[in-house]
Amino acid sequence: MPLSAVILAAGKGKRMRSSLPKVMHTLAGKTLLAHVYDTANLLSCDDIYIVYGHEGDQLRAAHGAFNAHWVRQERQLGTGHAVLQAIDSITASHHVIVLYGDVPLITVHTLTTLVEQAADTGFSLLTAHLDDPAGYGRIVRDDAGNILRIVEERDANEPEKRLREINTGMMVVRVGMLKKWLGMLTDDNAQQEYLLTDIVGHAVSEGVGVNTVQPASVMEIKGVNDRVQLAELERHYQLVQARQLMSQGVTLADPARFDLRGALEAGEDVFIDINVVIEGEVSIGNQVSIGPNCVIRDTRIGDGANILANCVIDNADIGARNRIGPFARIRPGSSLDEDVHIGNFVEIKQSEIGKSSKANHLSYIGDSEVGERVNVGAGTITCNYDGVEKHKTIIGNDVFIGSNTEIIAPLKINDGATIAAGATISRDVESGALSMSKRETKVVKDWPRGRKKKGSE
């Protein structure tokens, strides 16, 4: 059935106490609005309308990749008024699905059922049964169980308030009927707003049956009004993702202390320790172990790699059987071949490191090409920046670099060269050569070292 989605996102979200529009707050690294937009796309909606109010420029700029119609609602006069802003643009043969920019966890599965249920009468509504229905519109039914109307909490009497079936707000309506009923709305209610929910009463009085559907989980229909609710939905979503990964064969040391803000593809027998954050698109091979407190973003990690505690890896390619960390930082554009060891307090930026090469301690390797079986000693620094431009360091195969070496780029150290400890290298080094900087050790005998005065620290 041809479908247009209308996503309501004009509310200011006062209770967030934020300078950002509410729907720009993120859940699992993605804005609330993007969650709903992506779900509408999975549902194969032909057109997506987003009704916005506040900070429209900011909202549109943050979602530049959306293929959506942005519709401004000048003043927030109610949910019915919001849908009305888009209705004239929607193709007459479509059904309209109403979604909410601040209800991010609705699933395509539930919405598919909702769409199917609108096929016969042209009207379906997503409702839910809650133990505590406070704050929601209640579904009023007749003795036969047919829907009569929705009553908002503020307009409800005591028996109505005791009803547990609530309106989630999500619905599918044939566009012609929706347009007619929206035109009939008044603001004659406690909130003095044009309430979308009032169209249910109009449908019933015209003999149009309203079919109802329930979500698989009530978390799907929960909205975000404040930061407490945002955190609740985040934790729920993370747990769902964690369970999915575990069912696919990933061991999580603690599913409650794992965060995935993006997509993770993982092989067999992957172990992920506590407090690991995965962002963007990450793929991990078989038998990989990730230690505690690692942040890994947009990265591929090869089979058998061992990422030790407290590493930050961003936009990198980590080869099979690498050993990284603890406390290593691999920055964007870095590519490490197989069996590479990168140790503590080593930073690698925009560099290629060849097979079986090692930089085990306290080094900076930037804008470099490092060959195979190279040993980079502790405290080696590629001086890649002259204050204006970045320069490249090329290091051949089987090079040995002694500790505390400065390599002033651009230059090339050819295969098999040896650099003595403490050297400052500022020109190319021939293959097989030894290069050193002359720094003699001077000894002053019987040196009278200063003494602290009595009583001082």
Which sequence positions are flagged as catalytic? 361
Q: How far is the CB of 5 from ligand UD1 (least distance, A)?
A: 14
- Amino acid identity at 187: D
Would you count residue 167 as binding ligand UD1 (CB under 6 A)? yes
Would you count residue 71 as binding ligand UD1 (CB under 6 A)? no
Would you count residue 79 as binding ligand UD1 (CB under 6 A)? yes
Count residues contacting ligand UD1 (CB under 6 A)?
A: 27
Instruction: Identify which of residues 9 and 114 has a Cβ nearer to ligand UD1 in the complex.
Output: 9
Which stretch, 99-107, 229-237, 336-344, 366-374, contacts ligand UD1 (CB under 6 A)? 99-107
DSSP state of 415: T
Would you count residue 150 as binding ligand UD1 (CB under 6 A)? yes
Q: Which of 402, 397, 308 is nearest to 356 (CA)?
A: 397
Secondary structure element (H or E) that encloses residue 110, with its range: helix 108-116
Give the end-to-end CA distance of the chain in Å, rounded to a whole number. 82
Which stretch, 94-102, 255-263, 294-302, 336-344, contacts ligand UD1 (CB under 6 A)? 94-102
Would you count residue 73 as binding ligand UD1 (CB under 6 A)? yes
DSSP state of 87: H
The CA distance from 188 to 174, in Å, is 25
Q: Which of residues 221-240 bind ligand UD1 (CB under 6 A)?
A: 223
**Which one of residues 25, 63, 81, 321 is an interface residue with ligand UD1 (CB under 6 A)?**
81
**Which one of residues 27, 34, 48, 82 is an interface residue with ligand UD1 (CB under 6 A)?**
82
Q: How far is the CB of 198 from ligand UD1 (least distance, A)?
A: 8
Would you count residue 78 as binding ligand UD1 (CB under 6 A)? yes
Q: How far is the CB of 226 from ligand UD1 (least distance, A)?
A: 12
Q: How far is the CB of 61 from ligand UD1 (least distance, A)?
A: 19
Which stretch, 71-79, 140-148, 334-342, 357-365, contacts ligand UD1 (CB under 6 A)? 71-79
**Which one of residues 40, 166, 233, 305 is an interface residue with ligand UD1 (CB under 6 A)?**
166
CA distances from 67 to 47, 73, 100 (A): 8, 19, 17
Two structure tokens written together for 117: 């249920």
Which stretch, 189-197, 282-290, 316-324, 373-381, contacts ligand UD1 (CB under 6 A)? 189-197
Query: Beta strand 375-376 with 400-401: parallel, antiparallel or unpaired?
Result: parallel
The CA distance from 354 to 147, in Å, is 69
> 87-92: long-range contacts at Cβ-Cβ below 8 A with a sequence spacing of 24 or more?
87/175, 87/178, 87/179, 87/182, 88/179, 89/49, 90/4, 90/6, 90/47, 90/49, 90/175, 91/2, 91/4, 91/46, 91/47, 91/175, 92/175, 92/176
Would you count residue 196 as binding ligand UD1 (CB under 6 A)? yes
Sign of CA dihedral 441, 446, 450, 452: positive
Q: How far is the CB of 59 from ligand UD1 (least distance, A)?
A: 12
Q: Which residues of this protein are in contact with ligand UD1, per CB under 6 A?
A: 8-11, 51, 73, 76-79, 81-82, 100-102, 136-137, 150, 152, 166-169, 195-197, 223
